[in-house]
C-alpha cells in the first residue's frame, strides 16, 4: 500500500471511531511545525492566552545538535526507528488536518510534515501539503535567514548599497550546496506556490522576501519578557568572577566552528576580540566574554552580566543575540544597513532601532566610546527593553499575528504589496 493509501485508511478509521478533534466553531487555530529557535513556543503560549487552539510540534531528535537553541515544544514526534517515526507523523498528521485551520512551519527546504528522507523534502508536490491545501487549510512560513528565497547575488547587491558585500564575509558563499542563486530562488518559488503568508521578520525587501505575501515587520520571532528580564537572578555556577571596575563585552556565535572557515566569519568575531584586546593594552579594565554552543536557556544569565553586547558586524540586520540583549535591557552594538530597494520598503521597526551600529572597521572606536559613557549605556538599555517589548514581546506579537490570521482566513490578506527585486526570476 502506498503512503497516501495508508493515510486515507487511517483517516477513515479516525472518522469511523469518532476521533474528530476540533477547536470549536469560530475558534482560531494554528499548528506550529518545527522550531524556529524558541519563538514558536512563546508565540503559541501567547496565542493560547488569547483563547486560541495553538500547538507546537517538532520532528527533531530532542538530543540533536539544535536542541541547545530550543526551549521545548508541546509535542515531539521523533523516534530513532524510521518506521516508528513515520508512523508517529502519519497518525499526528490526520488529526492535525482535522483540527487546525493554519499550518505555520519553519525550516528551509522542509515544506512537509515528513523530514525523513530526501524523497519527502525534495518532492515538488509534497502530498501532505497538497492534501492540506485541498482541505481548504492555510499555510504560513517564517524564514530562516538571508538566503530564504533570496538569491545570493541579490543579497550581495543590496549589501553593497552600504559600502561592502556581506557575502564576502560568509563561508556559505563558497558552498553552493548551502547557498546559490538557483537553489535559493527554487525554494522561494516553492514557498510562494504553497504558502498564503510569509513572515520575513525585518529583513530587506528582496526577491521572495518582498512579494505580496510577505509580512516584513517583526511578528513571529518573539520572546517572553519574563524569561529575559533585566533583573534576572544569576545562579551561582553561572556568575562571572570579575574585578570591581571591570567591564564585560559579551559576544556569541552558535555553531562557531561550522560557520567560520577560511578567515570568513559573518559576525566579525575576530574584530570584536581584537578591539577588546586593544582597549586592554591601552589600560581599560575590559574583558571579552565569548560564548558558543551554550544552552540558550543559560545564555541569558551570562548576557545579563555584560556591560555591552555585540551581535554582528557584517550582515546589516539584527538577529537573536540583539533581540535577547534588548529584552534584557543591555546596550547593544550591531551593524545596521537600513538600505531598501525602494523608499516604500523602509520598515518602522528598523527606523526605531536603538542599536549602536558598527562594522569590523569601526568597532574599536564605537566600543571604546560606549564603554566610557555609562549614562549612554543606561539610556540605550532602557530604550532597547522598550523596543523589544513593542516589537518582540510575545503578547505584542500575538496581537499582530491574530490580525494577520483574521485577514488571511477572511481572504482579505494583501501582505505589504511589495514586488520582487527581480520579478521575472521570482514569478511562481
The residue whose grid cell reads 557584517 is 314
Q: Where are the alpha helices (DSSP H) in 17-81?
A: 39-49
Helix (H, G, I), strand (E, B) or coil at 375: helix
Domain-located, residue 289: yes
Do 380 and 336 fall within a single domain? yes
Regarding pTM above 0.95, the answer is no
Do 256 and 352 fall within a single domain? yes
Do 122 and 244 fall within a single domain? no
Q: How many domains does the chain have?
A: 2
pLDDT at res. 164: 87
Do 109 and 200 fall within a single domain? yes
Domain range for 270: 236-392
Q: Above pLDDT 70, what percent of the chain? A: 89
Domain-located, residue 142: yes
**Nearest to residue 323, comparing CAs of 248, 391, 271, 227?**
391
User: Phi and psi of 210, rounded to 5°?
Assistant: -130, 5
Asked whether the beta carbons of 35 and 18 are under 8 A apart, the reply is: no
Do 259 and 302 fall within a single domain? yes
**Nearest to residue 340, comparing CAs of 196, 200, 158, 165?**
158
Q: Is the pLDDT of residue 291 over 90?
A: yes
HSE-CB at 300 with a 13 A cutoff on CA atoms is 24
pLDDT band of 371, cuts 50, 70, 90:
very high
Q: Is the pLDDT of residue 227 over 60?
A: yes
- 350: cell is 528598523
Do 259 and 172 fall within a single domain? no
Burial of residue 127, with CB atoms counted within 10 A of its CB: 0-12 exposed, 13-18 middle, 19 or more buried? middle
Do 7 and 131 fall within a single domain? yes
Do 193 and 282 fall within a single domain? no
Q: Is the pLDDT of residue 426 over 90?
A: no
pLDDT band of 201, cuts 50, 70, 90:
very high
pLDDT, tens digit, for every residue of 52-72?
Answer: 999 999 999 999 888 888 999
pLDDT band of 258, cuts 50, 70, 90:
low
Domain-located, residue 227: no
pLDDT band of 265, cuts 50, 70, 90:
confident
Average pLDDT of every residue of the chain: 89
Domain-located, residue 231: no
Amino acid at each position: 500500500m502506498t503512503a497516501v493509501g495508508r493515510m486515507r485508511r487511517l483517516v477513515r478509521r479516525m472518522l469511523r471511531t469518532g476521533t474528530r478533534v476540533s477547536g470549536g466553531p469560530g475558534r482560531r487555530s494554528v499548528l506550529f511545525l518545527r522550531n524556529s529557535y524558541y519563538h514558536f513556543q512563546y508565540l503559541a503560549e501567547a496565542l493560547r492566552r488569547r483563547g486560541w487552539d495553538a500547538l507546537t510540534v517538532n520532528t527533531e531528535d530532542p538530543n540533536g545538535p539544535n536542541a541547545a537553541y530550543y526551549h521545548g515544544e508541546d509535542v515531539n514526534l521523533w523516534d530513532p526507528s524510521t518506521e516508528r517515526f513515520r508512523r508517529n507523523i502519519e497518525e499526528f498528521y490526520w488529526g492535525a488536518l482535522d483540527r487546525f485551520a493554519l499550518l505555520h512551519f519553519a525550516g528551509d527546504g522542509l515544506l512537509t510534515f515528513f523530514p525523513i528522507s530526501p524523497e519527502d523534502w525534495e518532492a515538488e508536490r509534497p502530498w501532505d501539503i497538497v492534501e492540506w491545501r485541498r482541505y481548504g487549510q492555510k499555510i504560513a512560513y517564517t524564514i530562516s535567514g538571508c538566503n530564504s528565497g533570496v538569491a545570493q547575488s541579490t543579497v550581495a547587491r543590496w549589501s553593497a548599497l552600504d559600502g561592502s558585500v556581506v557575502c564576502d564575509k560568509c563561508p556559505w558563499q563558497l558552498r553552493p550546496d548551502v547557498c546559490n542563486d538557483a537553489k535559493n530562488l527554487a525554494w522561494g518559488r516553492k514557498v510562494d506556490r504553497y504558502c498564503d503568508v510569509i513572515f520575513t521578520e525585518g529583513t530587506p525587501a528582496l526577491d521572495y522576501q518582498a512579494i505580496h505575501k510577505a509580512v516584513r515587520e517583526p511578528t513571529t520571532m518573539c520572546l517572553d519578557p519574563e524569561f529575559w528580564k533585566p533583573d534576572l537572578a544569576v545562579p551561582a555556577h553561572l556568575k562571572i568572577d570579575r574585578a570591581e571596575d571591570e567591564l564585560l563585552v559579551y559576544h556569541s556565535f552558535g555553531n562557531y566552528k561550522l560557520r567560520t572557515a577560511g578567515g570568513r566569519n559573518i559576525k566579525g568575531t575576530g574584530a570584536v576580540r581584537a578591539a577588546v584586546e586593544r582597549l586592554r593594552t591601552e589600560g581599560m579594565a575590559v574583558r571579552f566574554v565569548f560564548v558558543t554552543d551554550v544552552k540558550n536557556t543559560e545564555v541569558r544569565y551570562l548576557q545579563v552580566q555584560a556591560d555591552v553586547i555585540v551581535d554582528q558586524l557584517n550582515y546589516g540586520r539584527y538577529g537573536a543575540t540583539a533581540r535577547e540583549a534588548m529584552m534584557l535591557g543591555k546596550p547593544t552594538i550591531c551593524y545596521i544597513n537600513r538600505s531598501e530597494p525602494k523608499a516604500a520598503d523602509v520598515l518602522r521597526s528598523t527606523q526605531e532601532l536603538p542599536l549602536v551600529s558598527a562594522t569590523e572597521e569601526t568597532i574599536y572606536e564605537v566600543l571604546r566610546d560606549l564603554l566610557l559613557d555609562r549614562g549612554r549605556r543606561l539610556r540605550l538599555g532602557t530604550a532597547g527593553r522598550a523596543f523589544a517589548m513593542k516589537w518582540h514581546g510575545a503578547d505584542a506579537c500575538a496581537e499582530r499575528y491574530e490580525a494577520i490570521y483574521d485577514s488571511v482566513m477572511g481572504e482579505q490578506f494583501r501582505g505589504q504589496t511589495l514586488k520582487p527585486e527581480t520579478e521575472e526570476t521570482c514569478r511562481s
